[in-house]
Amino acid sequence: MHIDQLDTPSIVIDLDRMERNMAKLSAYCQASGLQLRPHTKTHKIPELAKRQMASGARGITVAKIGEARVMADAGLNDILIAYPIVSEVKARELAALAERARLAVSLDSLEAAQAVSHQAAERGVVIGMFVEVDVGFHRCGLGRPGDAVALAREILSLPGIEFRGLMFYPGHMLAVRSRQLEMLTAVNDSLDRFHEAFRDAAIHVREVSGGSTPTACLSAAFHGLTEIRPGMYLFNDRNMVGAEVAPVDDCALSVLVTVVSTAVAGRAIVDGGSKTFSSDRFLSGDGLGYGMVAGDPGASVEAMSEEHGHLNIQDASHRYRVGDRLQIIPNHVCTTINMHERVYGVRGTEVQAVWEVVGRGKLQ
């Protein structure tokens, strides 16, 4: 099928770019002796997870049990749920899933660890466990080494659980490289303190799982890291361009839209708004706008209604007409994909693949 035959709005993935991004990070991990466990919340598509495995990943990451189930159903069998599983209902679901896949969770409380242990022991399965530590993002994770050691000790005594190590997410490092390097010193100081505390307590930390897309190619500089979990690296987005993590030419995903109105002077309205792109902000830049129009830096995606994207075309490089088809690179790929039932893999102008976003909406 030719790309012109696709209805809009549709997500299109430039397969050449995606494959290049995938190969680049696999090569980096191999050269650095790091394991790669991509976060599949970015695409929620089992077929893409399988491609990442074929390209050298040692397993996958998800955020939700529902996503893990979708991946396990497709045959992916080494899954880290990098999210605290807290309730009894969830722990039961997790234990059931552990009967058919090698599962691990990261968490930062004894309550969560006990709930998982209880259900795992009842089912006779073993679930891997990482203690999440906070190295500066201040979202989840224990900040004090003594608290992390204390939780690990408790975990070591729980049935149905295998203590695997430490997990952290450097989400605050969405910044240009020079700024990241400044932040890295504090992150490494913090990691050093955790490593030292575990050494003093004679608790073996077999794995340290970290990483993100903005820091992916800096991963070897994090002290003691054994594995990284980037997700967006496969596609990149406007936030990655803003942080100078990727050039526009490495953006593999865009939303194909149609201009539906040019009636208001200086404006072109396209058939995708916040229900197509999400409303995620331009976090690595000035916070303004909702995407980049491919091939026309002068046009800005200035506002979003639910189903309308408002383009300011006063400084655009060409005249926009009703019926024109454009490709818009979103601010944030992960939330954009979650809005769509399927995505289209394109090589040149040829649609070569159609993938259902099987994990979309799997929020539990």
Ligand X SMILES: Cc1ncc(COP(=O)(O)O)c(C=O)c1O
Distance of CA 336 to the CA centre of its chain: 12
Instruction: Work out how close the CB of 69 gets to ligand X at its nearest, in angstroms, rounded to a whole number.
Output: 19
Number of residues counted as binding ligand X (CB under 6 A): 10
Instruction: Work out how close the CB of 167 gets to ligand X at its nearest, in angstroms, rounded to a whole number.
Output: 8
User: Pattern of binders to ligand X over 117-146, x per CB under 6 A?
Assistant: ------------------------------
| Sequence letter at residue 3 | I
Nearer to ligand X, 165 or 230 (CB): 230
Near ligand X by CB under 6 A: residue from 169, 222, 282, 290: 169
Listed in sequence order, the residues at least 6 apart from 19 whose beta carbon sits closer than 8 Å to its beta carbon are none
Q: Which of 59, 109, 46, 69 is nearest to 228 (CA)?
A: 59
Nearer to ligand X, 227 or 271 (CB): 227
C-alpha torsion sign, points 331, 333, 334, 339:
positive
Nearer to ligand X, 8 or 26 (CB): 26
Nearer to ligand X, 187 or 299 (CB): 187
Instruction: Work out how close the CB of 81 gets to ligand X at its nearest, in angstroms, rounded to a whole number.
Output: 10
DSSP state of 217: G
Nearer to ligand X, 137 or 355 (CB): 137
Instruction: Work out how close the CB of 324 gets to ligand X at its nearest, in angstroms, rounded to a whole number.
Output: 32
Instruction: Work out how close the CB of 123 gets to ligand X at its nearest, in angstroms, rounded to a whole number.
Output: 26
Instruction: Work out how close the CB of 267 gets to ligand X at its nearest, in angstroms, rounded to a whole number.
Output: 32
Distance of CA 220 to the CA centre of its chain: 19
Nearer to ligand X, 39 or 92 (CB): 39
Nearer to ligand X, 91 or 243 (CB): 243
State how far the Cα of 293 lies from the Cα of 286, in Å rounded to an integer. Answer: 17
Two structure tokens written together for 236:
């990149």
338 scored as a contact of ligand X (CB under 6 A)? no
Instruction: Work out how close the CB of 79 gets to ligand X at its nearest, in angstroms, rounded to a whole number.
Output: 13
The DSSP H or E segment spanning 326 is strand 325-330
Nearer to ligand X, 9 or 230 (CB): 230
- What are the backbone angles phi and psi of residue 2, rounded to the nearest 5°? -85, 145
Near ligand X by CB under 6 A: residue from 11, 62, 68, 82: 82
State how far the Cα of 335 lies from the Cα of 332, in Å rounded to an integer. Answer: 6
Two structure tokens written together for 115:
């709930």
Nearer to ligand X, 292 or 334 (CB): 334
C-alpha torsion sign, points 45, 46, 48, 53:
positive
Instruction: Work out how close the CB of 258 gets to ligand X at its nearest, in angstroms, rounded to a whole number.
Output: 29
Measured between alpha carbons, how far is residue 193 from residues 147, 149, 187, 198 in Å?
A: 12, 11, 10, 9
State how far the Cα of 117 lies from the Cα of 304, in Å rounded to an integer. Answer: 45
Near ligand X by CB under 6 A: residue from 39, 43, 69, 164: 39
User: Pattern of binders to ligand X over 199-238, x per CB under 6 A?
Assistant: -------------xxx--------------xxxx------
Instruction: Work out how close the CB of 80 gets to ligand X at its nearest, in angstroms, rounded to a whole number.
Output: 9
For 222-261, the DSSP string reads STT--EE---GGGT--HHHHHTTSS-GGG--EEEEEEEEE
Distance, first Cα to last Cα, the chain = 36
Interface residues with ligand X (CB under 6 A) are 39, 82, 169, 212-214, 229-232
